[in-house]
Amino acid sequence: MHLISFTYPMAICLLQKGLAMIMAKTRVCVIFGGVSSEHDISLMSASSVIQQIPKDKYEIICVGITKKGRWLYFPGDVSMIANGEWESHPDCTTAIISPDRTHKGLIKIMADGETSILHIDCVFPVLHGKNGEDGTIQGLFTIAGIPFVGCDTVSSAICMDKAFTHTVLDNAGIKTAKWAAIHRCDISKLDQMIPQMVEKLGFPMFVKPANAGSSVGINKAANEEQLKDAIKIAFSHDTKVVVEKAIVGIEVETAVMGYEDPKVAEPGEIVPCNEFYDYEAKYIMGTTELHIPARISEEDTKRLKETAIKAYKALGCGGLTRIDFFITPDHEIILNEPNTLPGFTSISMYPKLWEYSGVNYSDLIDRLITTAIERAEF
């Protein structure tokens, strides 16, 4: 048997290394902003998320994407994010996710051209809308081999495109509003298509960009003239438009989290201050009524949760998704839409529903990050 002897300095060095390994924090990259009509919403959500991430467990790396698409490492105070001042920070430097799996992190490019690699353990993409929750950036994370919070590339793409969402849910036997899709190449045929839509759907209708969130570009139409105007507005946001039959009922939202065995929080009810739950009602006016739990029966709550889980699995979701529903006066449950990266502001429904269900904001973020890393290793 051979005994290994240590000098005092060697022992101290080993002890320090051991403590460093034990105390090492998980490095999380929060990405916000983006080239999207929902850029400003992303800044508000990211500000809230960064403030609530448990600082004793995680080291936070902030990367913002400008409206023009420039990626910047942001070392400043979180208070500069929500109002957009972060871009003017003097120490911002170009930083992009490296597609090289051996890097597993960011490439930082200094003003003098020098580069360095910053290892990342997990990405929390607090991005809404195009290029943020439509599978594009999720594909980049997958190529880079970096774990990330939220749905994978395919489910993100399906849930972002309202026409694809309808198609999958229809196939799964999950009730949605009657709908029709219009592609930009069909604009010349619009005069012929509108009477067909009126016959199929009936007024009133909601007209939506197929790939947009936070109710951006959505309008209600009660006649053919309003329908034409709403379609034009929707096409200014996307190349495909979805038209849906308006549903009369209670607006209820559910928060789902997990992978193989997803869980759903107690549902919440929305009473919009405007005619419908539009952009202003969600993020600006602050007078929309939120009722948590929703003022619905135990039976409706049970069926709603079951439908949310069924839809979550049918759409291939993982990590988190907020799924919105209508409950009609005759207690029919109709799925409105899924949101794979829902709002995370101080007034957003997803964290509020989990808080009511016993998971506070900080614990929620911790769970999302932890399960994302575990899932990637699995």
Q: What's the token pair of residue 375? A: 């899932």
Residue 18 pLDDT > 50: no
Q: What's the token pair of residue 131? A: 């290029």
Instruction: Please name the helix (run of DSSP H) or strand (run of DSSP E) that holds residue 33, with its range, or none.
Output: strand 26-33
pLDDT digits (tens, 9 = 90+) for 207-259: 999 987 667 789 999 999 999 999 999 999 899 999 999 999 999 999 999 99
Residue 30 pLDDT > 60: yes
Q: What's the token pair of residue 308? A: 């949310």
The predicted structure's pLDDT at residue 354: 98
Instruction: Please name the helix (run of DSSP H) or strand (run of DSSP E) that holds residue 95, with its range, or none.
Output: strand 93-97
Pairing status of strand 122-126 against strand 289-291:
unpaired
With bands split at pLDDT 50, 70 and 90, how would you rate the model's confidence at 137? very high
Question: Where is average pLDDT lowest: 112-126, 137-151, 170-184, 269-283?
Answer: 269-283
Residues contacting residue 198 through CB under 8 Å, at least 6 positions apart: 224, 227
With bands split at pLDDT 50, 70 and 90, how would you rate the model's confidence at 376? confident
The predicted structure's pLDDT at residue 8: 56
DSSP 88: G
- Residue 318 contacts residue 260 (beta carbons within 8 Å): no
Q: Compute CA distances 336 → 25, 55, 67, 189, whole Å.
A: 40, 36, 29, 28
pLDDT digits (tens, 9 = 90+) for 182-216: 999 999 999 999 999 999 999 999 999 998 766 77
- Residue 138 contacts residue 150 (beta carbons within 8 Å): yes
| Pairwise CA distance, residues 196 & 209, whole Å | 19
Residues 365-370, mean pLDDT to the nearest whole number: 98
* Residue 316: HSE in the Cβ half-sphere, 13 Å Cα cutoff: 14
With bands split at pLDDT 50, 70 and 90, how would you rate the model's confidence at 22? very low
pLDDT digits (tens, 9 = 90+) for 82-126: 999 999 999 999 999 999 999 999 999 998 999 999 999 999 999
Domains of the chain: 25-148 (3.40.50.20), 159-176+248-377 (3.30.470.20), 179-245 (3.30.1490.20)
